[in-house]
Amino acid sequence: MWRLLFICKRPKYKGMAENQLKEQQDDEIAEIGISDSQISTIVDAIDEGDKKAVNLALDSLDAVDTAVLLEKIGAEGRQALLENHSHQFDGDVFVEIDSDLRKKILESLSPKKVADYISELDSDDALDLLQNLDPIFQKDVLKKLSGRDREAIEEGLNFPEESAGRLMQREFVAIPEFWTVGKTIDYLREAAEDIPEDFSDIFVITPTYHVAGEIPLNRILRSQRSKKIAELVLDKITTIPASMDQEDVARIFKREGYASAPVIDDNERLIGVITIDDIIHVVHEEAEEDILRMGGLEKTDLYSAVLETAQARFSWLAINLITAIAASIVIGFFEATIAQIVALAILLPIVASMGGNAGTQTLTVTVRALATKAISSSNALRMIGKEIIVGLINGIIFAVIMGGIVWVWFGSPLLGGVIAAAMIINMITAGLFGICIPLALERLKIDPALASTVFLTTMTDVIGFFAFLGLAAWLLV
């Protein structure tokens, strides 16, 4: 039957050219999620005050699409939705919204309304919504929660930020070793309201609540009811201390291929579970954080006010200005040389650009390797040596190319030789400092993603200018 169904569906693409097939598949992918035309239609309905049309549109959207809608419409349209249609939202919508925008939206609502949204969520998502709110507003929301929800969230807030304790879900299924398969199945049915809606693994615990192992749910369902849990093959699993950094948790999931993992307290007692969807969010957050920090930003400012955005970017731009002045001072030392040979001023940007780009390549790979623990003291020297050799090879190749171009361009083989030598020096410098700067910052407990770029640019500019102009002053003047 399945084969017949597959055959029936195949003619959809039969006879299509490869580019036509790709275009149709791209269109199908583009249809996933809310489209810009749908957003425009909803915005028009909001502007016209057509609440019925807005209600119908919101009813057709899932949580992710509703979150996209709230992110993309303007502040006035967003406020109108919150004032007139907040009853159509649920807590899952706010889980999907950008964290900075989410904070602004939630703090514009009443503490009671936010508490209602939070009470609908699993404990990990509830904590995620609440943890970044203003402390005073946060306390007001906590007061509106049930005693059980408040206790769980307050316990989570006691763990360090970006730790497994903040990440874990407190709803999980744990059974004692002495139960049978039949008793386990009966328990899952009877306790349906107290266990997670979706889970794939069951944790087996000792009488002291220590983790003895885990059993995939499908193994339970395939076993005889009389079979004891202790007689089944328990999968050994790495337990996650609640204080562990979320990046280290993500590395464990990647290495072991887990779908879920138990979280334990200081006494090694089971207190929660981390699932693969939590790890996907961690990977996304950490990757975004590294990208932003390499641009000198602490966080995304897409939804920040103009003055707030300008202020956040100002400090790093000021640091870059200082480093640019340092490079200009080096050029100033050779003012007389440049005045005699104008071609040097024309060729300076080429030396700086090649060194900067080569260094950025090395820097990007190194920062990523440090984040994933792929580089450490055991292989750092070998990696440094490799980058120096790579810089030398590329430096020689581009030196030959650029030296020849300059020779033909300005009719001076000696000038071509000067820029060729400077190119080799700066490419080696780029490779060396591109890896050494992040390694040094890591050793100093400074985030390499945040501070490496400005130092690297300074080194490649200063050394590149000094090498090029110094050689020119020595050989050409």
CA–CA gap between residue 205 and residue 239 (Å, rounded)? 12
Q: What is the pLDDT of residues 38-97, one digit of tens each?
A: 888 998 998 888 889 988 988 888 888 998 898 888 888 888 888 888 888 888 999 888
3-state helix, strand, coil in the chain (%, to 5): 70, 5, 25
Predicted pLDDT of residue 455: 85
More confident residue, 298 or 288: 288
Per-residue confidence band for 22, with pLDDT thresholds at 50, 70 and 90: low
DSSP output for 360-383? HHHHHHHHHHHHTT---TTTHHHH
Predicted pLDDT of residue 19: 55
Predicted pLDDT of residue 292: 67
Please report which helix (H) or strand (E) contains residue 82, including its range.
helix 75-85
The pair of structure tokens assigned to 107 is 């703090």
- DSSP classification of residue 273: E
Predicted pLDDT of residue 369: 85
CA–CA gap between residue 287 and residue 453 (Å, rounded)? 17
The answer to whether residues 129 and 105 touch, using CB atoms and an 8 Å cutoff, is no
Reduce the DSSP state of residue 274 to 3 states and report it. Answer: strand
Give the Cβ contact number of residue 121 at 10 Å.
19
Q: What is the pLDDT of residues 331-356, one digit of tens each?
A: 888 888 888 888 999 999 999 889 98
Per cent of the chain over pLDDT 90 is 34
CB-based contacts of 261, cutoff 8 Å, min separation 6: 237, 238, 239, 240, 249, 252, 253, 273, 274
- Give the alpha-carbon dihedral of 305, 308, 314, 316, to 10 degrees: -100
CA–CA gap between residue 111 and residue 99 (Å, rounded)? 18
The pair of structure tokens assigned to 147 is 């005693």
Per cent of the chain over pLDDT 70 is 89
CA–CA gap between residue 93 and residue 70 (Å, rounded)? 9
Per-residue confidence band for 21, with pLDDT thresholds at 50, 70 and 90: very low
pTM: 0.67
Q: Is the pLDDT of residue 182 over 90?
A: yes
Give the Cβ contact number of residue 376 at 10 Å.
12
**At which residue do the structure tokens 């956040």 appear?**
312
Please report which helix (H) or strand (E) contains residue 324, including its range.
helix 306-333
| Strands of the sheet with 211-216, listed across from one edge | 174-176, 201-205, 211-216
More confident residue, 194 or 391: 391
Which phi and psi (to 5°) does residue 229 adopt? -60, -40
* Range list of β-strands (E), 54-180: 174-176
The alpha carbon of 59 is separated from its chain's Cα centroid by a whole number of angstroms, namely 31
CA–CA gap between residue 340 and residue 411 (Å, rounded)? 16
Q: How would you write 377-443 as a 3-class SS string?
A: CCCHHHHHHHHHHHHHHHHHHHHHHHHHHHHHHHCCHHHHHHHHHHHHHHHHHHHHHHHHHHHHHHH
Predicted pLDDT of residue 73: 87
- DSSP classification of residue 243: T
Q: What is the pLDDT of residues 444-458, one digit of tens each?
A: 888 887 778 888 888
Per-residue confidence band for 386, with pLDDT thresholds at 50, 70 and 90: very high
Q: Is the pLDDT of residue 302 over 50?
A: yes
Mean pLDDT, rounded, of the chain: 85
Predicted pLDDT of residue 446: 84
CA–CA gap between residue 457 and residue 433 (Å, rounded)? 10
Summarize the confidence of residues 219-247 as an average pLDDT: 88
Which phi and psi (to 5°) does residue 468 adopt? -65, -50
More confident residue, 328 or 388: 388
Predicted pLDDT of residue 9: 39
Domains of the chain are 1-28 (no CATH), 33-89 (no CATH), 174-294 (3.10.580.10), 306-475 (1.10.357.20)
The answer to whether residues 81 and 43 touch, using CB atoms and an 8 Å cutoff, is no
Asked which of 17-26, 264-273, 304-313 is least confident by mean pLDDT, the reply is 17-26
Per-residue confidence band for 293, with pLDDT thresholds at 50, 70 and 90: low
Predicted pLDDT of residue 3: 35
The pair of structure tokens assigned to 22 is 């790709």
